[in-house]
Chains A and B, each alone.
Chain A
């Protein structure tokens, strides 16, 4: 994938540039001009603890949105609910214009909602290359009827291998191509998971602390690569604790605290918001 900005794919209309998001007022739950994800009244409790309690949230298409909040704020739980890995108590949401009625992780993934996990899920006994290849969508060879006949899937496989090798190269994993993924270091596993998610050709990629444990220089360059992809139409939502990364690459920031969205807006505004600072310092506000 070239670094320069490519022409926008036809699926995304020409006016989904960064600019419209700048006209949106920084108010929690505010509507967006081109939302790809619309969430309403989503709740999830664990015993007496309300981990997620979102009244309304819209995620703008083709934009990099950071989801921040203190530890235990419910960020991962929100990801789990939206991607079908956990069941919501109440609530509904739509993705890419279609309501998500019975969320199942694999169906949502096939529609282009691809997520990574905070605790990496590398497939230990598969090679690094196979890990990435697994991400490729619509593989002919994954159908049992075609599997025994190599000629039916070989061409697609070779094209996928080429793509996968480019990704591995970009993620500094090319030298580990044929090693088993179980032999990778913690940071390398994070990288592998992001590469695998990109291989899946996502419409919206949801990254749960993708660069935790990755050396800062590489993390920077990779996150910039991901913002490039946003220029090409990809929607990016990522959870991150490092504020410099958040301000560096996100167009929009959503702040979660105790399950609720307490603020959203452009990064330079949000990080100076009193309520956000209070939430991070662990102070509770009356009526929150």
Chain B
């Protein structure tokens, strides 16, 4: 059992591009669910359009990467408007159902064999993200490594995560600036009681739409980072669980807080990778009975996700406000 390696893997996951993507997805959800009370269960749809908008623009249409990124973000806005117009006036549950369905429909359409010519269909799409890596200031020789011990990245990875975390910081700052304003106060009032907000002259539909677009575009940015990191996109990467992982991260860190979704995303990936690495090493131990080893080997990933779920359950029991949340606010729900 080598805990150095386990820790190194966990730390790399916690600060790697996957955590950046999850953090962006969770920040967007925080704008929807945390601040506005919109139950968006289709956040993955925004990531998908961000990733495919970028990938398809470059791979299929041969446009530059920067245009591709723009296309990805514009598609996220379009999805928010298309989802919001028919559903934001309806009951919150209707909205939740439509979001999850819409995200799945888009994924299935994009991954269908009929779409091969455009999106690569089930075969996934890949493109050359060279325009991004050309800007990489980190020397990226075959032996260049950054970090300490087992916690280290290649030059390319360093570039992705540097840009990624700067993006997370900027987005968090913007969210902080707009939510602490009177505009943010209206969002929270809508979360608490729509009719009260209406009775004071607030156009609830318009505010919900603004929140939906902003949170959606932030999710779309996560998709863009994903596309650049993998130099492509695959329909299987955008299954509904991505949304639920984002909710997990948000609730772990604390909904309706500014740092919660970021800390939650880091913690999510740290735990998930720590448990998976631990199990993988465990199965290799000689003293482990064969039956147990057989059971574990090959399902480390699944079990680790289950353990993260268990962590969330425990957290909800003992610290329902998340890591950074406010206990008093949570207790009000029980009144």
C-alpha gap A143/B189 in the complex (Å): 15
Give every chain A residue within 8 A of B92 (Cβ-Cβ): none
B317 located at the interface, meaning its Cβ lies under 8 Å from any Cβ of chain A in the complex: no
Q: Mark each residue of chain B from 289 to 312: 1 if its CB lies under 8 Å from any CB of chain A, else 0.
A: 000000000000000000000000
Q: Which of A84-109 contact B (CB under 8 A)?
A: 85, 105-107, 109
Give every chain B residue within 8 A of A109 (Cβ-Cβ): 198-201
B134 located at the interface, meaning its Cβ lies under 8 Å from any Cβ of chain A in the complex: no
A residues whose Cβ falls under 8 Å from a Cβ of B: 83, 85, 105-107, 109-110, 114-117, 121-126, 130, 133-135, 137, 139-144, 146-148, 150, 153, 157, 180, 182-183, 196-197, 200
C-alpha gap A116/B193 in the complex (Å): 13
Check B177 against A147 for contact (C-beta < 8 Å): yes
Write the chain A residue with the least CB distance to B182: A141
Check B182 against A144 for contact (C-beta < 8 Å): no
Total inter-chain residue pairs, C-beta < 8 Å:
107
Q: How far is the CB of A274 from chain B (nearest CB, A)?
A: 37
> With A114-B200, A142-B186 in contact, is A125–B178 under 8 Å at CB?
no
Write the chain A residue with the least CB distance to B331: A182
Give every chain A residue within 8 A of B236 (Cβ-Cβ): none
> With A180-B328, A180-B329, A182-B332 in contact, is A105–B199 under 8 Å at CB?
yes
B239 located at the interface, meaning its Cβ lies under 8 Å from any Cβ of chain A in the complex: no
Q: Mark each residue of chain B from 64 to 94: 1 if its CB lies under 8 Å from any CB of chain A, else 0.
A: 0000000000000000000000000000000
Check A142 against B192 for contact (C-beta < 8 Å): no
B residues whose Cβ falls under 8 Å from a Cβ of A: 174, 177-178, 181-186, 188-189, 191-193, 195-204, 210, 256, 328-329, 332, 335
Chain B's interface: helix, strand, loop or mixed, by majority? helix
C-alpha gap A115/B198 in the complex (Å): 10
> With A85-B195, A106-B202 in contact, is A125–B181 under 8 Å at CB?
no
Give every chain B residue within 8 A of A144 (Cβ-Cβ): 178, 183, 210
Give every chain B residue within 8 A of A148 (Cβ-Cβ): 174, 177-178, 181
C-alpha gap A150/B177 in the complex (Å): 8
C-alpha gap A140/B186 in the complex (Å): 12
Can you sample 13 A-B contacts with CB below 8 Å? Answer: A85-B199, A106-B197, A114-B201, A123-B192, A126-B192, A134-B189, A134-B202, A140-B182, A142-B182, A146-B183, A148-B177, A150-B177, A153-B181
C-alpha gap A109/B203 in the complex (Å): 10
Give every chain A residue within 8 A of B210 (Cβ-Cβ): 144
Q: How far is the CB of A131 from chain B (nearest CB, A)?
A: 8
Check A110 against B178 for contact (C-beta < 8 Å): no
Give every chain B residue within 8 A of A157 (Cβ-Cβ): 182
Which A-B residue pairs are the 6 nearest by beta carbons? A141-B182, A182-B332, A109-B201, A147-B183, A147-B181, A121-B196
A153: which of B182, B191, B192, B200 is its contact (CB, 8 Å)?
A: B182
Give every chain A residue within 8 A of B335 (Cβ-Cβ): 124, 182
C-alpha gap A197/B201 in the complex (Å): 11
Check B200 against A135 for contact (C-beta < 8 Å): yes
C-alpha gap A116/B200 in the complex (Å): 9
Give every chain B residue within 8 A of A134 (Cβ-Cβ): 185-186, 189, 197, 200, 202
